[in-house]
Structure 1
Amino acid sequence: MKKTLGPVSLTALGIGAVIGSGIFTVIGVAIGGNPAALVSWSDSPVIDLLLHHGAIAGRPGAGPALAISLVLVAIVCALTGLCYAELASMIPIAGSAYTYTYATLGELVAWIIGWDLILEYAFSNMSVSVGFAAHVVALLDWMGIHISPKWLSPAYLPLGLQDLQGNDIYTPGWHAGFNIPAFLIVLLLTVVLVRGIRESSRTNNIMVLVKIAAILLFVFFGLSFIHPANYTPFSPNGMSGILAGGSIIFFTYIGFDSISTASEECKNPRRDVPIGIIATLVVCTILYVGVAVVLTGLVPWQSVAGDGAPVVNALKRVATTEPGGHSLHWVRLAVLIGALVGMISSILVFQLGQARVWFAMSRDRLLPDVFSRVHPKFRTPAFATWVAGVLVAIPAGLFDVGTFAEMSNIGTLFAFVLVSIGVIVLRVRQPERPRGFRVPFGPIIPVLSVLFCVLLMAGLPAKTWIRFFVWLIIGLGVYIFYSRKRSEFYKN
């Protein structure tokens, strides 16, 4: 590839990938936690079960201390991003963690990461689509259109559903309904992907600017309505809450590794890649911390728990209850548009990525050949794209944003752990192999990346770990009884 990218171009690429929908949706789950009526080990973070007082009533929220969680997550992403960059510089083709590990650590590890990436992309988009639906509801509310919540909210609501006045609409648990907007947006974008999409650089830049403008508008106009009393206590659940919040909010940084995958096109990857990664994470962290500080200053931190659109709903509360709050009426609309644009672009990119993982694994004969078939007219992996779309759309209509974010995050963190271990292993096995970029300070950064990723994983509930291990066991079963025998490396 032509080497044209410098540190500024890489930073712009990274910011475009990181600034997505997570900060508009998952931030409420991270701040408010997932409170439960009963003490349960399955709902408790693993670190609490191991080190503290055992089982607690649900996953604790970070509260206003989410700002600290965001900084912690940015540090972890910086460490892991450097590991990604080294692997990317060693592989002569651009690709994902699946491509890297297949070329360096072998088929079994590649299968595990590929299977894990399917989980990561799928649950990421389920979470985003549920958040998209919540913002569609907010947009309809802004226009004065009110539709039965039965068709605008997930069928399963662990915290129930309340209106903006705090009145119960649904009690916790299952109810007769389906999240139609979440279902439809995934299917609509699946049709777009099957027919083929070629997103221009200019269009991408415009979407990035719209998303950043939405964040800046919220921060700038929200500052005038902050109540300092909402910051007390700053860290209501201590380190357990900060860690749990970081484990969930990690979702907002998914996409930063796009910088490392572009290392092949850098003028000076040894210098430009780390600058691009660090600069991206610094800019995005400042923006995200601003959102967290303003949001927890506008409304009590407990009030955003389980809210799929906490930012715009906080603006509505202020607009309807605070003196002078009517000035936020149009700001709310602008933030809504920015959030919706961010979510559409995120769903599009991650659905494309998920289908391409299925396609790549099928091409390597690890999945059935039908997943790598290309549509005769549109020249896209149509079957893989449709399967990915249906598998995301149906659960998006049934479950809440918090469950999806937890599963997406544990999958991402696990992939990061394997990538960081891969750097260490290859330093030992192939020390002479050419590296366009080398992680500085020897094995220290990869080891720290592994430790911090495992620490963030420990902030997730025990039931999330159980679901994740079940997914991995299913994947290993598929590999042993099907994929391994089809592989070109299989020997009778």
Structure 2
Amino acid sequence: MMNGHRELNKVLNTKDVLVIAFGAMIGWGWVVSSGQWIQTGGVLGTAIAFAIGGIMIFFVGLTYAELTTAMPKCGGEHVFSFRAFGPVGSFICTWAIILSYIGVVCYESVSFPTIIQYLFPGYMKGYMYTVAGFDVYASWVAVGVALAVIIMVINMIGTKKAAMLQTVLTLVIAGVGIVLAAGSVFSGSPENMGTQLFNSESSSLVGSIARVAVMTPFFFFGFDVIPQAAEEIKVPLKKLGKLMILSIVMAVAFYTMVVLSVGYVLNANEINTSMSTTGLVTADAMAKAFSSQMMAKVLIIGGLCGIVTSWNSFLIGGSRAIYAMSTSYMLPATFGKLHKKRKTPIFAIALVGGLSIIAPFFGRVMLVWIVDAANFACCLAYCMVSLSFVVLRKKLPDMKRPYEVKHYKLIGFLAVALSGAMALMYVIPKTGCTLNVYEWIIVGGWAAIGVFCYIWSKVKYKEKFASEVFHEV
């Protein structure tokens, strides 16, 4: 096997880094979940909750920013955790983050054809079978598979091409969000906001805000895609760290803008009606703001772009994590090979992309279980990266850190505590996020596959196992 670390093309500039990270965090949730957020915490309460959730992710982001600039190598978490904990810790951390990326990619491949139904209600044709109560149609599968193939091929053609797609779609999302905000200013009313600043039905103001705050970090997953592609970025290292933090701030601002806009246009009764009918509260707010149902479809198109940006970003992240493990002899050598001309990890991309092609055949319900399992895996990886940050400050105090975090003990403690708490929420009963038996089966099955791969790679590659993690850029 030929190690390919030196051969990755540095093609991603400042704009590319921002749109990949921001696009990963802005998916479809801002279209379908705004009503739930407002009903739970109120408009202002939700805005406060997103600020709190953003702060939680901000601390984790700071640890990523320092570690990425200190070790700008493909694989991100793979390298950080190896330096801190060795092969076992590195394998666990990277294997967890790969599950989180695959989960999102597969879920987006079933979300896209589902949302198309809102735009074209009659397109569901050719009933095939039912999975966990979800009817699977041939036309629905075809849409998901077709887009999965397109996104996979674009990524194989080149990372820059994938970044160009990301830029166009992210601009559409931002444009739609700004149009919604502008429309709300002219068509909304302070009276709508005044009756639902906070959840008046809740006996605890703090509790209602906390219930939303607990959900918000899961809408900020994705900034960690940047470390995966670190060797393909041509940006000064100190600036790269700042860009990662900026992407988180931009995501917090976007979600807050959407919630305030919806609350300014729709009153509590209108939000309740929207939740019980279309469920697309943000789209209904857009329709009212411009007195046009066509504008609701425009916003849904923006949401569809959000699905694709998340899908594209996590395909980049997942394939690079697999590639990094393979080039360090911790997974089969095939996944570490690059295309001779385009310098993309085509087999790693094919693996993640192939799973997204298969996903629509399993319906949507089963994929919800995978996403919940993936969220738990992501929180676990975040906690291990945060721990790596703390350990490496003591273990390698003289390591060059272009983006050096101040007050590292406090930041490290908060990052570990908050990411660890997020992970525990999936384990502790009655938190609202606790994994069900099917999701534990997925986590357990993924762990078992990981154990098999670890043992197989160690037996096959012997002394080469984990020997290339520090290959210099």
Q: TM-score range by the shorter chain?
A: 0.7 to 0.9
State the distance in 2 between where 1:258 and 1:381 align: 15
Counterpart in the other structure of 2:469: none
Matched, 1:32 2:36: yes
Amino acid at match of 2:178: L
Corresponding residue pairs, total: 429
C-alpha distance in 2 between matches for 1:274 and 1:406: 29
Whether 1:438 and 2:438 are equivalent positions in the alignment is: no
Does residue 464 of structure 2 align to residue 484 of structure 1?
A: no
Instruction: Write the distance in 2 (CA, Å) between the matches of 1:195 and 1:327.
Output: 43
Distance, in Å, in 2 between the alignment partners of 1:131 and 1:311 is: 17
**TM-score, with length taken from structure 1:** 0.72
Residue 146 of structure 2 corresponds to which residue in structure 1?
Answer: 184
Question: Is the CA contact 1:21–1:343 (under 8 Å) kept in the aligned structure 2?
Answer: no
Q: CA deviation at 1:469?
A: 4.4
Distance in 2 (CA, whole Å) between partners of 1:104 and 1:175 is 47
What letter corresponds to residue 181 of structure 2 in structure 1?
V
Cross-structure match for 1:165: none
Q: 1:29 to 1:339 in 2, by over 3 A?
A: closer
Q: Alpha-carbon deviation of 1:382? A: 3.6
* CA shift for structure 1 position 68: 3.1
Inter-CA distance 231–415: structure 2 relative to 1 (3 Å threshold): same
State the Cα distance separating 1:283 from its structure 2 match.
3.2
d(CA) in 1 for partners of 2:111 and 2:344?
A: 28
User: Equivalent residue for 1:474?
Assistant: 448
> Which residue pairs with 2:314 in the alignment?
350
**Of 462, 482, 488, which residue of structure 1 is paired with 2:434?**
462
**Structure 2 vs 1, CA of residues 480 and 156 (structure 1 numbering), >3 Å: closer, same or farther?**
same
1:311 aligned partner: 282
Residues 185/244 of structure 1: CA separation in 2 closer, same or farther (3 Å cut): farther
Q: Which residue, out of 117, 124, 132, partners 1:148?
A: 124
1:328 aligns with 2:304: no
Aligned counterpart, 1:220: 182
Other-structure match for 1:99: 79
**Map of 1:10-409 to 2, 5 A cutoff?**
13-14=17-18, 17-20=21-24, 22-25=26-29, 28-29=32-33, 32=36, 64=43, 65-91=45-71, 93=73, 95-140=75-120, 146-148=122-124, 173-175=133-135, 177=137, 179-180=140-141, 181-196=143-158, 198-199=160-161, 204-222=166-184, 224-225=187-188, 227-228=192-193, 229=195, 233=199, 236=202, 242-243=209-210, 245-257=212-224, 269=238, 272=239, 275-295=242-262, 298=266, 299-300=270-271, 304=275, 311-312=282-283, 314-315=284-285, 319=287, 327-374=291-338, 380-397=344-361, 398-400=363-365, 402-409=368-375
Amino acid at match of 1:24: W
Distance 1:274 1:352, change over 3 A: closer
Letter of the 2:22 partner, please give it.
Answer: V
Distance 1:155 1:61 in 2: 33
For residues 116-135 of structure 1, the C-alpha deviation after alignment (integer angstroms, 9 at most, x for no partner) is 12211111123333332243
**Alignment check: 8 A CA contact 1:123 1:392 kept:** no
Cα deviations by residue, 1:237-275 (Å, 9 ceiling, x for unpaired):
966665554454434323324667769966582xx5665
Is 1:15–1:284's contact at 8 Å kept on the other side of the alignment?
no
Amino acid at match of 1:32: Q
CA deviation map 1:326-346 (0-9, x unaligned): 633343343233333333233
Mapped partners of 2:403, 2:80: distance in 1: 14
* Unaligned residue ranges in structure 2 (runs of 5+): 1-5, 7-12, 426-430, 466-473
Deviates more, 1:92-101 or 1:10-19: 10-19
Deviation for aligned residue 1:23:
4.6
Deviation at 1:355, TM superposition (A): 2.2
Paired letter, 2:440: I
Contact 1:97 1:113 in 2 (8 A): yes
1-structure distance, mates of 2:263, 2:157 = 42
Relative to total residues, which structure has the larger helix share, 1 or 2? 2
Letter aligned with residue 434 of structure 1: K
Instruction: Give the partner amino acid of 1:124.
Output: V
- Gapped regions of structure 1 (runs ≥ 5): 2-8, 34-59, 158-172
Residue 417 (structure 1) shift: 0.6
Q: Which residue of 2 aligns with 1:40?
A: none
Give the distance between the partners of 1:420 and 1:306, measured in 2 at CA. Answer: 42
Asked if 2 retains the 8 angstrom alpha-carbon contact of 1:124 and 1:251, the reply is: no
Change in CA separation of 1:11 and 1:350 when aligned onto 2, cut-off 3 Å: same
Q: 1:17 to 1:366 in 2, by over 3 A?
A: same
